[in-house]
């Protein structure tokens, strides 16, 4: 939950500061971590199997 909130906050920042390349990379890393954790949590039945995180990177490019 914290990672998703962090990604949303970073997305808001990048909407106003779209030339901030360092934080674009930071957002990519956060989203990669969300995907890795979701795979682990689905495997161990911590979250529903149909839970999906939609990437915001595509909106920024």
Could you tell me the mean pLDDT of each successive run of 10 residues in the chain, 61 residues long? 88 91 94 93 93 69 47
Specify the pLDDT at position 28.
92
User: What does the alpha-carbon distance between residue 16 and residue 33 come to, in Å, rounded to a whole number?
Assistant: 24
Specify the pLDDT at position 61.
47
Domain assignments of the chain as residue spans, ordered by start? 2-60
Name the superfamily (CATH) of residues 2-60. Answer: S15/NS1, RNA-binding (1.10.287.10)
Contact (CB, 8 A) for 13 and 6:
no
CA 47 to each of CA 2, 22, 44: distance values in angstroms, whole numbers, following the listed order: 15, 31, 8
Specify the pLDDT at position 59.
58
Specify the pLDDT at position 55.
73
Contact (CB, 8 A) for 57 and 18:
no
Angle between helices 2-16 and 21-43 (to 10 degrees): 160
């Amino acid at each position: 939950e914290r990672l998703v909130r962090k990604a949303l906050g970073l997305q808001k920042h990048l909407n106003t500061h779209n030339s901030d390349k360092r934080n674009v990379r930071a957002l990519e890393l956060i989203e990669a971590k969300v995907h890795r954790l979701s795979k682990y949590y689905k495997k161990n039945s911590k979250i529903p199997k149909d839970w999906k995180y939609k990437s915001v990177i595509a909106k920024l490019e």
